[in-house]
Amino acid sequence: MKFPILELEDGRMVGQVEVVMAYILKMGGKQDMLGSTAWETAQINHWSSYISNTVNEHYMGLIMPTFGMGGSKDKWEATLTWFSKELVAWEAHLAGHSHWVGNKMTLVDIILWRVCLPLFNFVMGPE
């Protein structure tokens, strides 16, 4: 089970950032943030999976060395290059839109905020 882990009152556990967030949204009556249509839900699942499986791998390659937790200069530079290209694609995806999926905030917007906030605050400059 991936961290973080949310332990429920009955002892069951829910793990992984995206899964924990989805559980909290659903339990909090915000299930519309998980998609209002089958298409939106599919898109949210797609992008959540992409972030969890691809973006997070690169994200850790920048964040961990920033806080002195290992890494090599070559990996740092390769990851920085990857993010620089990826951010251009993200900007293109958002062009003319206020949210990643549909026209309202969804789980994907929250997950990307979780990734982007430390990147822009601690790693990458405005350029």
Give the pLDDT of residue 48: 92
Cα dist from 75 to 50, 56, 62, 65, 106, whole Å: 20, 14, 9, 10, 32
Pull the structure tokens for residue 104: 């309202």
pLDDT at 53: 85
**Of 97 and 76, the one with more pLDDT:** 97
Model pLDDT for residues 55-75, shown as the tens digit of each residue:
888 888 887 787 778 777 888
What is the arithmetic mean of pLDDT over 67-87?
84
What would the pLDDT profile of 5-16 be if each residue is shown by its tens digit? 899 999 999 988
Give the model's confidence band at 127: pLDDT under 50 very low, under 70 low, under 90 confident, else very high: low
pLDDT of residue 1: 64
The 10s digit of each residue's pLDDT in 18-49 is 889 999 999 999 999 999 999 999 999 999 99
C-alpha 55/C-alpha 14 separation (Å) is 21
| pTM of the predicted structure, to 2 decimals | 0.81
Q: Mapping DSSP to helix (H, G, I), strand (E, B) and coil, where does residue 97 land?
A: coil
SS3 readout for 42-61:
HHHHHHHHHHHHHHHHHHHH
**Residue 15 parent element (H or E):** strand 13-15
Give the per-residue pLDDT at 126. Answer: 59
Let me know if domain 5-123 sits in CATH 3.40.50.150.
no
Give residue 67's pLDDT: 78
Reported confidence tier of residue 125, pLDDT bands at 50, 70, 90: low
Say if residue 122's pLDDT is above 80.
Answer: no
* DSSP alpha helix (H) spans, the chain: 17-27, 38-50, 56-66, 73-94, 107-118
